[in-house]
Amino acid sequence: MKNDLTLAKLRNTNFASLYNRFMLGKQLQPKEYKCLLAIAICFINAEEVNVQQLGYRIVVEYCNQTGDYIPLYEISINKGLYPVSKFIEQHYISDEQRNFFTEWNDAFLEQYATGRIYQSEQQHMLVKFFDDTKTDTVSIIAPTSYGKSELILSAVKEYAGKKICILTSTKALLIQTKKRIQSVSKGLFPKIVVHPEMYNPHDKSCLAVLTQERLLRIFKKDHNLAFDCIIVDEAHELLEDNTRSHTLANVIIVAQNRNPNVAFKFLTPFLADGGNLKTRYTTYDIEGFKVSEYIKSEKYFLYDMRNHKGLQLYDQFLNKYLPISMSKKFIFEEDFIKEYCANKNIIYLNRPIDIEKFALALKDVLPDIESELVSTACENISEYLQPQYNLLACLRKGIIYHHGSVPDAIRIYIEDLYKKDPAIKYVITSSTLLSGVNLPAERMFILDNRRGRTNLSHDAFKNLVGRVCRFSEIFDRRNGKLQRLEPQIYIVFGQYFAQNANCENFLRKVAKVESKHQDVVENILLSQTKIDSSNEEDLRQASEFIENYENGIIEEYKERYTQTDIGKACIMNGISEIDVFSYETNMQNKVDSYQTKNVKINTTDQLLDVIYHLFIQYIPDSRSDNLKRLENEEARKFYAMMLDWRADNKSYAEMIGLFIRHWRRLYQQNKEIAIYVGKWGDIKLFGNNTPRYTKLKGKNRTQVVNLAIVRIKEEQDFIDNILIKYVEVLHDLELLEDRFYMQIKYGTDDETAICLLKNGLSLSSAMMLLKNYRNYLHINISESTVKFDETLIENMEQANENQIMIYEVKSCM
A 10 A CB-CB count for 561 gives: 13
Q: Are 165 and 208 in contact (CB under 8 A)?
A: yes
Q: Which helix (H) or strand (E) holds 492?
A: strand 488-493
Q: What is the rounded average pLDDT of the residues 374-382?
A: 96
Between CA 689 and CA 364 the distance in angstroms is 33
pLDDT digits (tens, 9 = 90+) for 79-92: 999 999 999 999 99
Strands (E), 142-281: 163-167, 192-193, 206-210, 229-232, 263-268
pLDDT at 3: 55
Domain 121-290 has CATH 3.40.50.300: yes
Q: What is the rounded average pLDDT of the residues 747-754?
A: 92
Whether the predicted pLDDT of 548 surpasses 90: yes
Residue 141 pairs with which residues in a beta bridge?
268, 290
pLDDT digits (tens, 9 = 90+) for 673-725: 999 898 999 998 877 788 989 999 999 999 999 999 999 999 999 999 899 99
Give buried/exposed letters for 25-63 (b at 16+ CB in 10 A, else e).
Answer: eeebeeeeeeebbebbeebbebebebbbbbbbbbbbbbb
pLDDT digits (tens, 9 = 90+) for 57-75: 999 999 999 999 999 999 9
Lowest model confidence (mean pLDDT) among 79-83, 106-110, 126-130, 630-634? 106-110
Q: What is the rounded average pLDDT of the residues 225-247?
A: 95
Cα 300–chain centre separation:
24
Q: Considering just the CA atoms, what is the radius of gyration of the chain in Å?
A: 28
763 in helix, strand or coil? helix
Q: Are 349 and 430 in contact (CB under 8 A)?
A: yes
Between CA 572 and CA 550 the distance in angstroms is 9
